[in-house]
């Protein structure tokens, strides 16, 4: 199995975990700490990073689909009695996604530059 395939599998597993966490009842939602917005930002940032690494030739498609997924998952919370869809939550998730994709792009762009300097 090559590197991109492994990262792709991790990205899809993380997406499933995020979907479960977003749509499950509030008592079943996993929590790391008290900073819920930081958890959201980090989860979507990692998701964006993994998808951008797994599908490097399609950054705009990855960005569009993950932003749409963040909005869609948030809206799917609306029918639930114990969950709520807030614009601030969507904004944090979208910012995390964009930062993760940007970090992957930055890393890919500059890692080649440093790799060639180290081989001289």
d(Cα 74, Cα 76) in Å, to the nearest integer? 5
Q: Which residue has the tokens 């500059």?
A: 110
Residue 76 in contact with residue 18, Cβ under 8 Å?
no
Band of pLDDT at residue 93, cut at 50, 70 and 90: very high
Enter the pTM of the model: 0.86
Label residue 2 exposed, middle or buried (CB < 10 Å: 0-12, 13-18, 19+). exposed
pLDDT tens digits for 17-59? 999 988 887 777 766 767 888 999 999 999 999 999 999 999 8
Q: Does the pLDDT value for residue 116 go beyond 60?
A: no
Q: What is the pLDDT of residue 115?
A: 56
Domains: count for the chain: 1
Q: Does the pLDDT value for residue 65 go beyond 70?
A: yes
């Amino acid at each position: 199995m090559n590197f991109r395939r492994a990262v792709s599998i991790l990205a899809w597993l993380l997406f499933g975990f995020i979907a479960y966490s977003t749509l499950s009842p509030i008592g079943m939602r996993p929590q790391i700490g008290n900073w819920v917005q930081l958890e959201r930002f980090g989860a979507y940032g990692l998701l964006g990073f993994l998808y951008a690494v797994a599908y490097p030739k399609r950054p705009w498609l990855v960005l569009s689909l993950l932003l749409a997924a963040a909005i869609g998952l948030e809206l799917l919370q609306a029918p639930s009695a114990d969950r709520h869809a807030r614009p601030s939550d969507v904004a944090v998730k979208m910012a995390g996604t964009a930062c993760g994709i940007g970090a992957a792009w930055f890393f890919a762009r500059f890692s080649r530059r440093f790799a060639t300097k180290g081989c001289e």
